[in-house]
Amino acid sequence: MRIGILTGGGDCPGLNAVIRAVVRKATGSGDEVVGFRDGWRGLLEDDAVPLDVAAVRGLLPRGGTVLGTSRTNPYALEGGPERVLGCLAAHGVDALVPVGGEDTLGVAARLAGSGVRVVGVPKTIDNDLDGTDYTFGFDTAVGVAMEAIDRLHTTGDSHHRTLVVEVMGRHAGWIALHAGMAGGANVVLVPERPFDVDAVVAHCLHRFESGYSPIVVVSEGARPADGGLVTSSGQTDAFGHVRLGGIGAALAAVLEERTGRESRAVVLGHVQRGGTPSAFDRVLATRFGLAAVDAVQAGLSGVMVALRGTDVVPVPIAEATARLKLVPLERYAEAEVFFG
């Protein structure tokens, strides 16, 4: 049998570990693997590479994806799905393993509906894909953010400043929640729960009164309940600096004015996505790759592999694409105990 593999969407620590596991398991049982470069683009433009054991040597600790990635969606292009089907047939691909998030798996589900044998592997550092307890990449991203928060505590305390740490998470606050809890943040703000600026100011002032500086962790998608974050001077902050940027910068400017203490915003951005995966992510990504080959060899299709408790099992792809997995309020309440 010949198995195709591609990685789509934003990159994520552990993608290479999945590729390695798929190749090692498949070739070990006599199957062949062909990789398609840059997600669905590789299937649209017939950009393929044969993958054998030599090709995946040394991949386990490497960040990013050796196959490259893109956000190309064949269903958004005239004749796209037909080109994908033609390319799969030209390479004699019997089953496809797309590794990706909501968009990539959405394409996978539609292709499965057109008769292509598909077994998806879920991926996102945001951990917001439903159907699986965790996605690989999340643990690594949380570790990066936690280390940043640890470091920011000491510089914040030294300068008696508020440090606002903006982390990834457009729709869900998992990274903010876990990094904030692990790093001892004094406030954690997530998209699921529009925040009250007065309460954030009060928590920061309380922290200053205790002799320490506040750390505020904010998801990039978090927003104030009343919709606005403006200083009295408009674009400039209380100290006359021009503040530009996302929610972290806007919040830091307002906190500076409202607390009367200097503040700084730190945007961790793509640092959270790059670099070597944690041990947890290497193991999870490897188990996902092995389970994907098991599912292909068992003749399954329209499924993705998922972590349920401690087991990796096949579940319908639709479980991951129907809705996002958001932070439940009771999990947020755990972080709130430590606010202020």
Which amino acids are annotated as binding site for substrate, given as ranges? 124-126, 161, 168-170, 220, 264, 270-273
168's tokens:
């990834």
Give the one residue of 32, 38, 102, 126 binding ligand F6P; rule: CB under 6 A.
126
For ligand F6P, the closer CB: 124 or 132? 124
Q: How far is the CB of 144 from ligand F6P (least distance, A)?
A: 12
With CB under 6 A, what is the number of residues at the site for ligand F6P?
A: 8
Least Å distance between CB 71 and ligand F6P?
A: 7
The answer to whether 170 contacts ligand F6P (rule: CB under 6 A) is yes
Segment interacting with ligand F6P, rule: CB under 6 A, options 164-172, 208-216, 231-239, 301-309: 164-172
Instruction: Return binding residues for Mg(2+).
Output: 102
Q: Are 169 and 221 in contact (CB under 8 A)?
A: yes
Helix (H) or strand (E) holding 267: strand 263-267
Going by C-alpha positions, the residue among 20, 134, 10, 124 that lies closest to residue 66 is 20
Residue 168 binds to ligand F6P (criterion: CB under 6 A):
yes
Nearer to ligand F6P, 86 or 246 (CB): 246
Question: Annotated catalytic residue: which of 11, 31, 126, 281?
Answer: 126
81 contacts ligand F6P (rule: CB under 6 A): no
Is residue 237 close enough to count as binding ligand F6P by CB under 6 A? no
The answer to whether 142 contacts ligand F6P (rule: CB under 6 A) is no
The only residue of 7, 27, 72, 124 in contact with ligand F6P, by rule CB under 6 A: 124
Q: Phi, psi at residue 165, to the nearest 5°?
A: -110, 115
d(CA 35, CA 31): 13
Least Å distance, CB 266 to ligand F6P, is: 16
Task: Give CA separation, 108 vs 22, 89, 187, 262, in Å.
Answer: 17, 16, 39, 49
Q: Would you call 11 a catalytic residue per the annotation?
A: no
Residue the block writes with tokens 């479980």: 319
Does residue 191 belong to the site contacting ligand F6P (CB under 6 A)? no
Residue numbers belonging to the annotated binding site: 10, 102, 124-126, 161, 168-170, 220, 264, 270-273
Cβ atoms of 147 and 163 closer than 8 Å: no
CB 184 within 8 A of CB 153: yes
Tokens 């919040």: give the residue: 251
Closest CB to ligand F6P among 111 and 172?
172
190 neighbors 173 (Cβ within 8 angstroms): yes
H helix runs in the chain, sequence order: 15-28, 40-44, 80-90, 102-113, 138-159, 174-183, 197-209, 247-259, 279-297, 318-321, 329-336
Stretch that binds ligand F6P, among 18-26, 166-174, 202-210, 331-339 (CB under 6 A): 166-174
In the sheet that holds 263-267, the strands lie side by side as 187-189, 215-219, 162-167, 263-267
Tell the smallest beta-carbon distance from residue 8 to ligand F6P (Å).
Answer: 11
Q: Which residues are catalytic?
A: 126
Residues of the shown chain interacting with ligand F6P in the complex, contacts defined by CB under 6 A: 10, 124-126, 168-170, 220
